[in-house]
Amino acid sequence: MNILFEVIGGLGLFLYGMNVMASGLEKSTGDKMKKIIEILTSNRIMGVIIGAIVTVMVQSSSATTVMVVGFVNAGIMNLAQAVGIIMGANIGTTITAQLVSINLSQLAPITVGVGVGIWLFTSDKRIKSYAEILIGFGILFIGMEFMKNAVKPLKHYEGFKSLLISFAGHNITDKTLAILTGFAITAIIQSSSATTGLLIALASEGLLPIEAAFPVVLGTNIGTCVTAMVSSIGANKTAKRAALIHLLFNLIGTGIFMIFLSGPVIDIVKRFSVNPERQLANAHTLFNIANTLFLLPFASFLVYAVKKIIPYSPEEEEKMKGIKYLDDRILETPSIAIVQVMKEVLHMGNLALESYNKALEAFFKRDEKIASETFKLEKIINEMEKQIAQYLLKVSNEEISGENREMIDGLFNTINDLERVGDHADNLAELAIYRIENKLKFSDQALEELQIMHERVVKSYREALTSLKTGDIKTAKRVIEREKEIDLMEKKLRANHIDRLGKQQCVPASGVIFLDIISNLERIADHASNIALAVIDAKKN
């Protein structure tokens, strides 16, 4: 039991050190993570490189894959781009194994001491993040030394040694058992790097030759997929597809290497080093690089396969009109989360515009089916406002700049304006149905006036969304100026309508509908002006 407790303690220190180091790396990179994602293109080779870099930063292929699932779920990247990132993540995670295979335990206490000293005597956040990297690095190696010392007594347990050596067997049962062992340990502790660290600790004491270690390492690569698979629960099907790609990639690679290439890989790593720790780390790296080289040309096939395994129904495609870009997993990188919120707000704004256009189209064409589409959109818009507001609160609780905090405050007001536009569109759709059910007639002049005002309002609203997207103050000022013109137009149309009523050129019932319509149009223009004012205020600050 003492051995077990010491191993668990060492593993805990290893994981804690890795998390502290990852946190320091992420803080020190700041908005660089956002820039790394921004340079992502459909070029899969670039995706592999970025996946490896990000994984080195966060010190976990599982974390990177979970991030990718979040990005796919939020629409930041498509499946084709995700494939490269996932493959690169598998390569990036081998860097930790390479580090811990080098005996740096003597430097660990010094590194922790220097790191803590820097952390205590500086108030600069960037320097503190560098100190965290040093502290995490040192704790990681202290944990590694704990594990090595803990497993030393196992040399004297013949049963345990026989079990590990059996993993080197050539029959399918032994190989499968070794792979399942690696899978199970990684699935439980949620870190392939930690599992590899434990294997290196065993190898350092001569308990785990490379022939036995290699199939266990292959199992760790499958086990690391569990985190992403669990993460995809509750996400959209595209995100589930990304997680499945990760699993298929590692399953196929494990199958190929276990059947055809385990012997050559073991021969290669033995030629490069006689140190069992280095052999294991090199085998881990070689597998992931070779697997990427083998399967990268077949990335399109992987995408095709997961689309067939997890298809979208037409009904699900329709439901995707709601929230597209928000995902809690992105909150770990607030700079990206804010960009996604802005995209979601613009998406909400475009849905409100679509809802408004359909309401007027239903009125002019006297089509109840089109009006019913407005009602559906209005429900989506209402739900979007709630979800975006909740997400804005979550982002505001993260460590963000003052400028970003002001932007978030402005977006709270903007989503309220957009929701109100949806409400006015809903009102207009109800007026359209009332016209249809009561077979109300309008004069050509009245319809022409409504059409002209509608076009002005649409133009104003579109420009408000453009100014929100680009931050262009000139466009925002045009919206505010046009809002005054629309106010005057509403008064003029109201006077014209009263004049027509006096001359008995239209029936009173139609007149009431006319007045309600121009009132709703004027209110939509007001909300467009509010959005434009928020853009101007944000730029002033």
Nearest to 449 by CA among 460, 457, 437: 457
More confident residue, 295 or 21: 295
Count Cβ neighbours within 10 Å for each residue of 180-199 and write b for 16 or more, e otherwise: ebbbebbbebbbbbbbbbbb
Q: What are the distances in angstroms from CA 68 to CA 38, 82, 207?
A: 13, 6, 37
User: Which region among 151-165, 465-479, 498-512 has the lowest average model confidence (pLDDT)?
Assistant: 151-165
User: Where residue 452 sits, what CATH number does that domain have?
Assistant: 1.20.58.220
Asked whether the beta carbons of 216 and 168 are under 8 A apart, the reply is no
Confidence of residue 133 (pLDDT cuts 50, 70, 90): confident
| In a domain? residue 318 | no
36 exposure class (CB count in 10 Å sphere: 0-12, 13-18, 19+): middle
Residues 301 and 365 in one domain: no
Confidence of residue 315 (pLDDT cuts 50, 70, 90): low
Nearest to 131 by CA among 6, 257, 24, 33: 24
Give me the pLDDT at residue 466, please: 92
| In a domain? residue 482 | yes
Q: What is the DSSP track for 143-210?
A: HHHHHHHHHGGGGG-HHHHHHHHHTT-SSHHHHHHHHHHHHHHHHHHT-HHHHHHHHHHHHHTTSS-H
Residues 213 and 85 in one domain: yes
Confidence of residue 353 (pLDDT cuts 50, 70, 90): very high
| In a domain? residue 29 | yes
Confidence of residue 443 (pLDDT cuts 50, 70, 90): confident
Inform me whether the pLDDT recorded for 1 exceeds 70: no
Residues 361 and 399 in one domain: yes
| In a domain? residue 315 | no
| In a domain? residue 127 | yes
Give me the pLDDT at residue 360, please: 93
Q: How many CA atoms lie within 13 A of 514 on its CB side?
A: 29
Residue that is last in its domain, among 246, 277, 308: 308
Residues 380 and 304 in one domain: no
Cα angle 29, 31, 35 (rounded to 5 degrees) comes to 105
Residues 254 and 402 in one domain: no
Inform me whether the pLDDT recorded for 432 exceeds 90: yes
62: enclosing H helix or E strand:
helix 61-73
User: Which region among 278-292, 302-316, 511-525 has the lowest average model confidence (pLDDT)?
Assistant: 302-316
Domain count, the chain: 2
- Domain extent at residue 466: 328-540
The whole-chain average pLDDT of the chain stands at 81
Give me the pLDDT at residue 22, please: 62
Give me the pLDDT at residue 85, please: 85
Give me the pLDDT at residue 34, please: 53
Asked whether the beta carbons of 156 and 150 are under 8 A apart, the reply is no
Long-range contacts of 379-383 (CB under 8 A, 24+ apart): 380/321, 380/322, 380/351, 381/348, 381/351, 381/352, 381/355, 381/418, 381/419, 381/422, 382/419, 382/422, 383/322, 383/323
Q: What mean pLDDT is predicted for residues 63-88?
A: 76
| In a domain? residue 119 | yes
Give the Cβ contact number of residue 5 at 10 Å: 10
Give me the pLDDT at residue 158, please: 57
Could you tell me where the DSSP H helices lie in 296-401? Answer: 299-309, 314-319, 334-365, 368-396
**pLDDT > 70 fraction of the chain, expressed in percent and rounded:** 83
**Would you tell me the crossing angle of helices 473-502 and 444-470 to the nearest 10 degrees?**
170
Inform me whether the pLDDT recorded for 527 exceeds 90: yes
Question: pTM score > 0.85 for this model?
Answer: no
More confident residue, 249 or 228: 249
Give me the pLDDT at residue 160, please: 55
| In a domain? residue 319 | no
Residues 256 and 362 in one domain: no
Inform me whether the pLDDT recorded for 300 exceeds 70: yes
Residues 275 and 223 in one domain: yes
Give me the pLDDT at residue 313, please: 65
Q: What mean pLDDT is predicted for residues 340-362?
A: 92
Inform me whether the pLDDT recorded for 42 exceeds 80: no
| In a domain? residue 285 | yes
Asked whether the beta carbons of 235 and 69 are under 8 A apart, the reply is yes
Tens-digit pLDDT profile for residues 101-131: 776 667 778 888 888 888 888 877 778 877 8
Give me the pLDDT at residue 335, please: 79
Asked whether the beta carbons of 456 and 485 are under 8 A apart, the reply is yes
Residue that is last in its domain, among 308, 337, 359: 308
Rounded distance between C-alpha atoms, residue 56 and residue 62, angstroms:
12
> Where do we find the tokens 């979601």?
344
Give me the pLDDT at residue 142, please: 78
Inform me whether the pLDDT recorded for 193 exceeds 70: yes
User: Which region among 276-285, 308-317, 381-390 has the lowest average model confidence (pLDDT)?
Assistant: 308-317
Asked whether the beta carbons of 141 and 102 are under 8 A apart, the reply is no
Tens-digit pLDDT profile for residues 243-290: 888 899 989 988 888 887 878 888 888 888 878 888 888 888 888 899
Residues 304 and 435 in one domain: no
> Where do we find the tokens 């199958």?
255
74: enclosing H helix or E strand:
none
Residue that is last in its domain, among 279, 308, 337: 308
Helix and strand numbers (H, E) in the chain are 24, 0
Q: How many CA atoms lie within 13 A of 261 on its CB side?
A: 17
Residues 294 and 360 in one domain: no
